[in-house]
Amino acid sequence: MKRVCTRQFRNLTRLRSFGEVREKISRSINHVCLSRRSFHGSACRLGELELTSVRYPHVQRGKYATLTEKDVDFFQKLLPQRVLQDPSELDGYNIDWMRTVRGNSQMVLRPKTTSEVAEILKYCNERHLAVVPQGGNTGLVGGSVPVFDEIVISTQLMNQIISLDEVSGIVVCQSGCILETLDNYLAERELMMPLDLGAKGSCHIGGNVSTNAGGLRLLRYGSLHGSVLGVEAVLASGEIVDCLSSLRKDNTGYDLKQLFIGSEGTLGMVTSVSILCPRRPKAVNVAFLGVENFEAALQTFQLCKGMLAEILSACEFMDQESMQCIQENLKLTNPIKSYPLYILIETSGSHGSHDEEKLNAFLEAAMGKGIVQDGTIAMDVTQRQNIWGLRERIAEGLLHDGYNYKYDISLPLPKLYEIVEDMRQRLGSKVTRVVSYGHLGDGNLHFNVTTPEYNKEVLGLIEPYIYEWTSQVRGSVSAEHGLGFKKRDCIRYSKEPNAVKMMVKMKKLFDPNGILNPYKTIPL
């Protein structure tokens, strides 16, 4: 890494603050990013976790059938060697990544094809057997694990890339493809996936689509509602709905694929997707900046939005408590001095020297106006990954504290940090830490509280207070994580009764027996 724009800042009074960190930098952030990358199957190693049915006693099992020998025979014939029943193998599918919910499924099915998924669902629908579709199981709201004994349908073996049109950048693949694997495949062809998130090494594209994953570059590449061009899904009845268009434009009838984006597997199971992928940028720059307060963070965002414009690809923030968490729990090093807030800015463009000129001009302006106090720019891929690691590994760092109360809210920008300060005061010394970070460019706050273990009193102090707070300023109680199991009763904080009513009607239309991912998303 180098000092930020020494040349440009020669006459600015703030120059020294960059100078001071120069020596630190060589010893800085050098851990490999693991994050949620190597998760699957690890949960079971960390000791016993109480069953969801015990922790949430008010949730009652639906009137579904229970698995019989005959059912097992059917699935074993349909999927030879691809039915898991050994308890030692099931834990990784029953427990979520955060270790906050634990189902009691007795069976995991691992189909390879859409028609196998169709056979499974047809059978389950007729037998009234409840199922939960599962991708990389990296969700944060308990949406991808069973609540009771639902059968897990895993997309692990549905990992084929079906086609890629290099001219249009449209990739078609099965839903079990891992996001990072897809992105690596595209990288060789000068393309990239239009989304990126901390869990990229584990999460499946089908899960990303089913949860409408946002991630780190939504600011630039938009939401999956725009970049997903087609979806093939299997309905509860076993009928295959093929909307796997690989056209950029298609206005023939209702855009059914939109219904499967973000409905968390409750309306159908996504089996294949078609996605529009942007060109891979030729030049990427990452800057990590320190600012004195949230007002300055907002000013930084405004300034870079104007000056970096079309090359701005991420504008993330994290607070001092986030930094302390990864320093203490993951032994990462802060590459600059300590500040109340840090901002990560990424540019992605087609012309290195143009991009650098724009970035330098922005930094000069930000420093000149006294908005940004300190900063560093990554000089190569490794340094970029290390800076990104600071931001991406906070979620992992939090887990080391014990229990993590996790909230993912959208708020009007001026309110984004007010809630953090309010909650910090409210919780005081009852908690280990109150940590916040997120996507400044999207108005999306990841708000976290940790305690040594699950604590009902603390939960009672946070909820419903945080939801009411969010609702009062017309925010969203789930910006990108979805509702899953843990937040489904919160839907009314962000959606009007008529809207919820329509959702319930649609759920009944698509899945009359309610076998698809029950107890999730929609309060029935």
Query: CA distances (Å), 10 to each of 3, 4, 18, 373, in order?
Result: 12, 11, 11, 15
CB 470, min distance to a copy of itself, A: 10
Smallest distance from the beta carbon of 362 to a copy of itself, in angstroms? Answer: 11
Residue 360, helix vs strand vs coil: helix
Would you count residue 443 as binding a copy of itself (CB under 8 A)? yes
Question: Nearest approach, Cβ of 38 to a copy of itself (angstroms)?
Answer: 26
CA–CA separation, 404 vs 11, rounded Å? 46
The residue with tokens 């906050």 is: 100
**Residue choice 401, 480, 486, 518 for contact with a copy of itself (CB under 8 A):** 480
Closest CA to 437 of 391, 487, 475, 473: 391
Closest to a copy of itself by CB, 21 vs 234, is 234
Q: Which is nearer to a copy of itself, 29 or 172 (CB)?
A: 172
Tell me the residue type at 34.
L
| β-pair type (131-134, 151-154) | parallel
Which stretches of 112-204 are DSSP H helices? 114-127, 179-187
Helix, coil or strand: residue 351: coil
Amino acid letter, residue 100: T
Cβ at position 519, least distance to a copy of itself in Å: 14
Q: Which of 35, 404, 448, 521 binds a copy of itself (CB under 8 A)?
A: 521
CA atoms of 158 and 417, how far apart (whole Å):
41
Q: Which of residues 383-442 bind a copy of itself (CB under 8 A)?
A: 410, 412-413, 439, 442
Whether 206 contacts 173, CB under 8 Å: no
Query: Which CB sits closer to a copy of itself, 74 or 464?
Result: 464
Asked whether 307 and 363 are in contact (CB, 8 A), the reply is no
Alpha carbon 43 to chain centroid distance? 18
CB closer to a copy of itself, 226 vs 460: 226
CB 90 to a copy of itself: min, Å: 28
Name which of 326 and 409 has its Cβ closer to a copy of itself.
Answer: 409
- Between 419 and 522, name the residue whose CB sits nearer to a copy of itself: 522
In the region spanning residues 254 to 273, those forming contacts with a copy of itself, defined by CB under 8 A, are 254-256, 258-259, 261-263, 267
Calculate the alpha carbon distances from 503 to 144, 269, 437 in Å.
20, 17, 31
Contact flags string 337-366 toward a copy of itself, x per CB under 8 A: -----------xxxx--x--xx--------
Relative to beta strand 372-377, strand 312-319 is unpaired
Tell me whether residue 129 or residue 483 sits nearer to a copy of itself (CB atom): 483
Subset of 490-519 contacting a copy of itself (CB under 8 A): 490-491, 493-496, 498-500, 502-503, 505-506, 509-510
Nearer to a copy of itself, 264 or 396 (CB): 264
274-333: which residues touch a copy of itself (CB under 8 A)? 279, 281-282, 298, 302, 305-311
Closest separation in Å from C-beta 231 to a copy of itself: 10
Q: Give me the residue label for tokens 């870079």.
A: 304
Of residues 414, 400, 399, 345, the one with CA closest to residue 375 = 345
**Positions 37 through 96 that interact with a copy of itself (CB under 8 A):** none
Residue 306, both tokens: 């104007």
Min CB(426)–a copy of itself separation in Å: 23
Dihedrals phi, psi of 88, to nearest 5 degrees: -65, -25
The least distance separating a copy of itself from the CB of residue 20, rounded to whole angstroms, comes to: 32
Instruction: Quote the DSSP letter at residue 413.
Output: G
Q: How many residues contact a copy of itself, by CB under 8 A?
A: 90
Stretch that binds a copy of itself, among 78-86, 131-139, 220-228, 332-340 (CB under 8 A): 220-228
As a whole number of angstroms, the distance between CA 19 and CA 2 comes to 10
Of 54 and 167, which CB lies nearer to a copy of itself in the complex structure? 167
Figure out which of the listed residues 2, 16, 225, 430 binds a copy of itself, where binding follows CB under 8 A.
225
Binders of a copy of itself in range 135-174 (CB under 8 A): 165, 167-168
Binding flag, residue 211, a copy of itself (CB under 8 A): yes
Give min distance, CB of 285 to a copy of itself, in A.
Answer: 13
Distance CA 426, CA 429 (A): 9
Kind plus residue range of the DSSP H or E element containing 208: helix 205-210
Q: CA 20, 29, 287: angle at the middle one, nearest 5?
A: 65
